[in-house]
Amino acid sequence: MAAASCTGPNTPGAPAPEWASDSASVRVAAGPQYARGAAWRFFWGTHYRDIWATPVTAPVLRLATVLPGGLTPTRAGGSYQSHTLRLCTDNGREFVLRSVDKDASTALPAGWKRRVLGRLMKDQTSAGQPYGAYVAAQLAEAVGVYHTNPQLIFLPNDRHLGKFRDGYANALYLLEERPEGNQHALATFGYSPDVVSSRHMLAAIHLQPTAQVEARAYLRARLLDMWLGDWSRREDQWRWASFPQPGRITYRPIPRDRDQAFFLFDDGLITRLVSWFVPKYHSFHATIRPSTVDGLTTTARALDRTLLGTLNAADFRQQAEAMRARLTDAVIANALKAGPTETRDAIAARLGPLLRARREQLPELAQRYYQILAGEAWVVGTDQAERFVISAAGPGALRVSMYARHPAKPDSLISERVYNRKETYQVNVYGLAGDDIFELVPPLKSGQIVNIFDGAGHDQLVNPAQTLSTIENITWYSSSDGNASRNNTGLIIKPNPDAQLTSNSLNWLRRYNLHD
């Protein structure tokens, strides 16, 4: 990939960096092009234009000498906004450079749309806080969430860039560890022996029940996302620290790419109108309205339903209250000292009061978040043989238990949760592959919709009910691949409209936004 440098000599009109006398550092603004007049700011927002246009001091990265043996560029990449460069030491340790400046216009198709809208989209990069990643890392540490450790650097026109020289020289970057592979020496990745992608983790937990994600750790990370106003948390924005133990493996989340933390978009006339129609563009203000939580969390909705389905309202409340207690005024003030000295006071003055105000709303935020996820609940099996037991749990309540089937010993409980009609209107049970048993224990008249998707394998649905009145609102979506049922009284039976998607763990991955 060869892209124009984000800042520096290749950017038309950009001031040249001011080099220190010893050439060890430079002074340069991350985005002087975002400085705009009053009329433009009125329509398109003030955002963080002053921070982008402020020159900051950054150390110069010398690839040959920054570490013993140096760093060698190996691969270019990036998302639809930023571009990255992967670096490797001579002993295989990997780092990544992520551009401070972004360009969302590259997401537009080439042609008139990019010509007409490209400059406007590029200008809206100023809605992001250019140095928010440093603050976010400190706050993640305070609440026990794994994180990368970004450092601001300036990449000069270094001959060791080789073929990447034209596309990457003379710009500001975040240099950080690449969260992948063996990280046994790094505390902020949990000393994990193997950090993996979201694709790897999701394939593992749906292949067999002995692989699981620590749901409370993921919930804590998601509450941190919302507190920081970071709406861009799709599946490829995560890595997973794995911890193998005899007979099982556990995963804990590592959020990455904090480009949209502290996002401020709705402070212009036109951008405010846009935010009404694109709810995920949540702007970082003192008050988090409950009505905005849906949009703020939408990019990771499938991941949330998958990984948080075993937790109840009390779990959400407990994590939120624990986070609020740990995020003291002193912790917030210390985190705001991160980043360039030239912008530190301005960032602290702007973000400090907002972070303190939003902290007090964490329990309410968690409650609303729980309500959104609880409305439509997922129970997802694996490619191994499981037994799903659906039974009554009192008036207006339903219990779903999932067991691992063992041919020569009793089945073992994997998960169990009670769903209340006041919170949950629909429960979807996905068996995936394996010879599964779906066992109904009537009476089942909670008033909730239950959809059973059997998946691949020779599945059985067991229904001992003899009268229609004992079962309501239960639909079996059968794949018609040799499945069997004992008594269909009271059941609605339909062909599975997503037979391929729900057939096994590999096809199930299409549920997620995976580009890693």
Please give the average per-residue pLDDT across 265-282, as a whole number: 91
Q: Examine the pLDDT at 7 and tell me if it is beyond 60.
A: no
DSSP letters spanning 188-227: GGTT-SEEEEHHHHHHHHHH-TTEEE-HHHHHHHHHHHHH
Per-residue model confidence as pLDDT tens digits over 290-332: 889 999 999 999 999 999 999 999 999 999 999 999 999 999 9
Mean pLDDT of the chain: 91
Q: Band the pLDDT of 2: cuts 50, 70, 90.
A: very low
**Token duo for residue 113:** 């749309």
Return the domain boundaries, the chain.
Answer: 18-110+117-375, 381-512
- Render pLDDT for 57-90 as a digit per residue (tens, 0 to 9): 999 999 999 998 999 999 998 665 778 999 999 9
If one counts every other C-beta atom within 10 angstroms of the C-beta of residue 420, the result is 17
Q: Residue 141: which residues within 8 A CB-CB, separation 6 or more?
A: 147, 188
DSSP 294-336: HHHHGGGHHHHHHHSTT--HHHHHHHHHHHHHHS-HHHHHHHT
- Of 62-66, 118-122, 176-180, 379-383, the range with the lowest mean pLDDT is 118-122
Q: What is the pLDDT of residue 491?
A: 84
Length of the chain: 516
Inter-residue contact 199 to 302 (CB < 8 Å): no
Reported as a pLDDT band with limits 50, 70 and 90, residue 1 is very low
Those residues with Cβ within 8 angstroms of residue 159's Cβ, 6 or more apart along the chain or in another chain: 165
The answer to whether 468 and 390 have CB atoms below 8 angstroms apart is no
pLDDT tens digits along 336-354: 999 999 999 999 999 999 9
